[in-house]
Amino acid sequence: MKSSTGVLLLFLAIASTSCIEEFRPALKDFDNLLVVDGHITDKPGPYTIKLSISANLDITKYTPLSGATVTIEEENSEAETLTETESGVYQTSANGIQGKVGRKYRLRIATPDGKAYESGFEEIKEPTDIASVRAEFDTRYFDEEEDPIPGYQFFVSTGPSPYEKDYYLWLMEGTFKYRADLDITYIYEGRFIPFENADSLKTCWLTYSVEEVVTASTANRTERQLNNVLLHFLRGDDKKLSIRYSLLAKQYSISKEAYLYWSDIEDQSAQDGSLYTSQPFQIRGNIRNVQNPDEPVLGYFFAAGVTEDRSFFNPPPELNVQLPVCGLDYEGLRFPPPPEEWPVYITTGEEGLALSGSACLDCREAGGSITPPDFWEE
């Protein structure tokens, strides 16, 4: 499973407008900002913490921070130092620390340059069940100059919360089945060889992190559950809805403080950098430099009870879009490809043998796998 790191970094990069009265030092006054992404839940680990460095919010390139000492500790109990599994990625062991409902946890970081950071303690709340996840056909404008785009609007409803006031964060992963546009009829490896397994590179499955984060609360409601909270809108003008789609919704029951942080992230992404929103500030989480509390640190370490729902959806019957069509290159074969480009996949069109884009012939070139994931259902 992919983590929410890409989602977090995207929103931190565009989080540049809002109103706040409290003074906070400007990000431009600091170099090499630490970015932290990770959490602990009541589900078994391993848990992952990702550390990176960003020069400032005007630069969207993030450099992994390697060589740090990262520790998750339970209040008045055990602690575990994570192992760096790849550059900037730190992970607990499979049989390591286990989050428990009602217990509090914090994150500690010692960087290679001698700085020490820590989060506040966060309590794991009892999770609330997901009652349902559903999709409804809808259209949405993405550009005033263009026609509305059809697609699916997803909704989530919760079961009754065990708390009078509860706070939720939803992070999502999508998986879709798709096909390459063209059939492979020959392989070129110095000569043309008939391609026997015509469907072997035709169908793929691809899992990705949904960019949107969604928050909601029962704090100002008479009922302890939520109905039809809007999740993300899935455009129907690409291959995600061409055959079959699966949405994994992860519902985190989080603290009020974590909710306010992620709600700010959600608001900033919705504003989309408009000049007519409000005054700029940086979104800071619950992690501080122990020696220099004024140093901005981006990200939030949270603890949460979590429930998950995986649902499957076929394309809506109302969906009527024309997806881009791959072109054919009949002239390219006049000059045989050099050996370093072999094997070359060839298709056949009305004028004979032809080349095309690699992803048009081999579905793996679009990022997917020809092996369906274990959870896939037809």
Whether 84 is in a domain gets the answer: yes
Structure confidence by residue, pLDDT tens digits, 302-356 = 999 999 999 999 999 999 888 888 999 999 988 888 999 999 999 999 999 999 9
Segment 139-168 mean pLDDT = 92
Q: What's the CA dihedral at 120, 126, 132, 138 to 10 degrees?
A: -20
Q: How many domains does the chain have?
A: 1
Whether 89 is in a domain gets the answer: yes
The interaxial angle of helices 5-14 and 256-271, nearest 10 deg, is 60
**Interior angle at CA 298, CA 170 and CA 112, nearest 5:** 125
Whether 214 is in a domain gets the answer: no
> Residue holding tokens 């409902």?
101
Whether 242 is in a domain gets the answer: no
Segment 168-177 mean pLDDT = 98
Segment 249-276 mean pLDDT = 82
Distances in Å between the alpha carbon of 236 and those of 146, 266, 299, 333? 15, 23, 32, 35
Is 297:289 a contact under the CB 8 Å cutoff?
yes
Give the type of residue at 308: E
Whether 56 is in a domain gets the answer: yes
**Interior angle at CA 100, CA 163 and CA 126, nearest 5:** 15
Between CA 41 and CA 342 the distance in angstroms is 47
pLDDT score of 123 more than 60: yes
Q: How far is CA 306 from the centre of its chain?
A: 16
Whether 265 is in a domain gets the answer: yes
**pLDDT in the model for residue 371:** 98
Tokens read off for 13: 């990069």
Distances in Å between the alpha carbon of 301 and those of 119, 257, 315? 7, 11, 37
Whether 366 is in a domain gets the answer: no
Residue 56 structural domain: 5-127+251-305
Q: How far is CA 185 from the centre of its chain?
A: 37
Whether 143 is in a domain gets the answer: no
